[in-house]
Chain A
Amino acid sequence: MMRHDRERRDAPAAVTPPGRIGAFLRERWDLVALAVLAVAPLVVPALGGALGGQVTTLFIYCILALGLNVMVGYTGLVHLGIAAFFGIGAYLCAILTVPMYPFQMRFATATAASVVVTALIGLALGAPTLRLRGDYLAIVTLGFGEVVKVTLRNLEQITGGMKGLNPVPPPGAGLKVGGLDLGLAFAIDPRWFYYLALAALAAVVVAMRRLEHSRLGRAWVAVREDELAASAMGISAIRVKLSAFAMSSAVAGLAGCLYAASLSTTADPNAYDFNRSIMVLCAVILGGLGSIPGTLLGVALLVGFDTVLAPWADSAIQQWNINPSGSSLLSFSGWRLAIFGLALVLVMRYRPEGLVPSRRVAAELHEAHP
């Protein structure tokens, strides 16, 4: 079906924004957001504190979600184990930088190496599983996630087991630029990581945009819509799917490296389990499959809910003494799972394409319901 006329931009169908400013905001939302976020630390003092760390983590999850979006959104392959690649990236970066090992590379080199190796591992997982139908692939990725988690936990000599590897030195450790000790700056002031993560996120968004409009991006979409038809047209479904695997793993690995560096520890392997994978998947689905702004919004909502709204509501309840006995029923986070679940069910029922979808996916999903 020829939808190229509507497909030029990820613009929603029937919206009349107020005037030219609205049009500018709609079309260049990314520049606006980037400008706001870049300026924010200078204007909002709290970003120099705990909030800065939380927003940095938010950016890292955005990168992770964009990686998952390549598999689930563009190529239509359900991936339930993205957290495993997140973890692999984190551990690789840690192994290459912590003082316990002889490598002790610079952060940039370690990240580059980790990303490449994670992509290769993604390829290794993808290659034998390509023949599998959608559901089975989901299960294999789920199983892979569990295998990775258990392996990371048990190979204590290499990974430190449940203790994780720490401390991961901050980027620029030992580098002095103009009298400023970079490593110390990263360690003390969260704004350095904030900008690093923001820069990485911006780079990934640009790369994704490029890919979307490239031959490979279109091939991904073609395979998602109808694999048989695509291969009949000369697209090698195997190559396309493998590239989706590799790209998604690479981006997840990048997110992992940033994560390990920003926490200065890999944390224990249970942090990279199915719950994490599901959370990212929910963010991508709720936000909007196959759409970059949708993915980012989904992550912001979900992570914001978990790390900002829920603790705030809980301490508010504590302060107003609504819940003296401490029962789960009256606490806000006690309802967290139900709220998540309900959101998923409702979105799938009434707006399965997500909040800010790509127009193609929206059209595909609503084909069945005219």
Chain B
Amino acid sequence: MQFFLQQCLIGITNGALVALVALGYTMVYGIIRLINFAHGDLIMLGACLALTLVSTLGLAAAGPAAAWGGVAALVLLCGLFCGGLNVAVDRIVYRPLRSAPKLAPLVSAIGVSFIFMNVGLFWLGPADRSFPELLPATNLLPGDGLQFTAKDLLVLVVVVPLMAGLSFLVKSTRLGKAMRAVSQDPVAAALVGIDVDRVIAATFFVGGFLGGAASVIYGLYINTIGFQMGFQNGLYAFTAAVLGGIGSIPGAVVGGLVIGLVRALSSAYVGERWTGAIVFAILIVILVFRPEGLLGRGTREKV
């Protein structure tokens, strides 16, 4: 029983991280129907920056209080970096293709993903790099039972407020309302005076910011980054977004948690080497029987 609970705990923590990345995918898709293949690699670049900052600021040698403060600073800085980079890419690559057929931005996103990967290759080198352990690895729970360390706590402490903040942004602010409007019908939104391009840029920024936060958490939680990490993580996060219903924010969260749990439990009970196949098999099955995802809304195609 304890083993099962431990795996669930691991699954939920992992899933929260996946959900954070999935939010980036879902936001961009929600607003311009683009699968942003480059999101995973954007996060990789954020992690590169985080590693560089940690080395230059010497955070590894600092005490615990400074460590938490440093983490907050990292989240902010990497968030801004990734948000800004995302906006730049939108402006340069995707904006000219707003009215182009769907294939063009999709393939461009793949191209951007390759470019990011190459930058990461130069930044990190071909081998994986170790991320310093800023937080102690001691178990926070008493006894020798369930393992829950400061790192696991970090994931939840960062992810939950960010998600809450995002919900607030989308539901209760003007920008959020504008985002929802553009997502429903860009032409109508323009007609009522919304600056569509700016709203889209803001969406990219928010998605990128979340990605930057995710990159810091990734580095601190997994402690290894490499120039190819974007693809694998992006794939899982993207699956989570689709599973939950792409375009739906709560869907991304649910999808992320489900994927995290599936990965942990399948690794525990089926075998580590089947995990990848199981996750994608589930994705295929869900898409076949419920294409709009768990929480998505079905759309009718008008003639």
Do A and B contact each other directly (Cβ–Cβ < 8 Å)? yes
Check A133 for interface membership: any CB of B closer than 8 A.
yes
Bound-state CA distance A342–B301 (Å) is 35
Indicate with 1 or 0, residue by residue over B217-260, a CB within 8 angstroms of chain A CB atoms.
00000000000000100010011001000100000000000000
| A131 and B291 within 8 A (CB) | yes
Check A311 for interface membership: any CB of B closer than 8 A.
no
| B301 and A228 within 8 A (CB) | yes
Report if A341-B112 is in contact (Cβ < 8 Å); known contacts: A228-B301, A368-B101.
yes
Whole-angstrom distance between the Cβ of B171 and the nearest chain A Cβ: 26
| B273 and A153 within 8 A (CB) | yes
Q: How many A residues touch the partner, as a band?
A: 35 or more
Whole-angstrom distance between the Cβ of B227 and the nearest chain A Cβ: 9
The segment out of B46-54, B92-100, B151-159, B208-216 that lies at the interface is B92-100
Residues facing A in B94-139 (CB within 8 A) are: 96-97, 99-108, 110-119, 121-122, 125-126
Check A321 for interface membership: any CB of B closer than 8 A.
no
**Which residues on the A side are within 8 Å of B168 (C-beta)?**
none
Check A324 for interface membership: any CB of B closer than 8 A.
no
The segment out of B73-81, B175-183, B277-285 that lies at the interface is B277-285
Residues facing B in A142-189 (CB within 8 A) are: 142-144, 146-147, 149-151, 153-154
Check B33 for interface membership: any CB of A closer than 8 A.
yes
The segment out of A38-46, A108-116, A328-336 that lies at the interface is A328-336
Whole-angstrom distance between the Cβ of A288 and the nearest chain B Cβ: 13
**Which residues on the A side are within 8 Å of B4 (C-beta)?**
none
| A341 and B288 within 8 A (CB) | no
> Closest residue of chain A to B120, judged by CB?
A337
| A337 and B277 within 8 A (CB) | no
| B277 and A129 within 8 A (CB) | no
Residues facing B in A5-61 (CB within 8 A) are: none
Query: Could you list which residues of chain B lie within 8 angstroms of chain A, going by C-beta atoms?
Result: 33, 35, 93, 96-97, 99-108, 110-119, 121-122, 125-126, 231, 235, 238-239, 242, 246, 273-274, 276-277, 280-281, 283-284, 287-288, 291, 301, 303
Whole-angstrom distance between the Cβ of B298 and the nearest chain A Cβ: 11
| A147 and B108 within 8 A (CB) | no
Report if A341-B118 is in contact (Cβ < 8 Å); known contacts: A78-B103, A348-B104.
yes
**Which residues on the A side are within 8 Å of B96 (C-beta)?**
349
> Closest residue of chain A to B102, judged by CB?
A134
**Which residues on the B side are within 8 Å of A328 (C-beta)?**
121-122, 125-126
Bound-state CA distance A71–B108 (Å) is 20
| A342 and B115 within 8 A (CB) | yes
> Closest residue of chain A to B98, judged by CB?
A368
| B111 and A340 within 8 A (CB) | yes
* Most chain B Cβ neighbours within 10 Å, of A78, A289, A328, A345: A345
Residues facing B in A115-143 (CB within 8 A) are: 128-129, 131-136, 138-140, 142-143
| A334 and B121 within 8 A (CB) | yes
**Which residues on the A side are within 8 Å of B242 (C-beta)?**
136, 139
| A147 and B280 within 8 A (CB) | yes
Whole-angstrom distance between the Cβ of B280 and the nearest chain A Cβ: 4
Report if A150-B121 is in contact (Cβ < 8 Å); known contacts: A135-B33, A341-B111.
no
Check A3 for interface membership: any CB of B closer than 8 A.
no
| A349 and B97 within 8 A (CB) | yes
Bound-state CA distance A364–B104 (Å) is 12
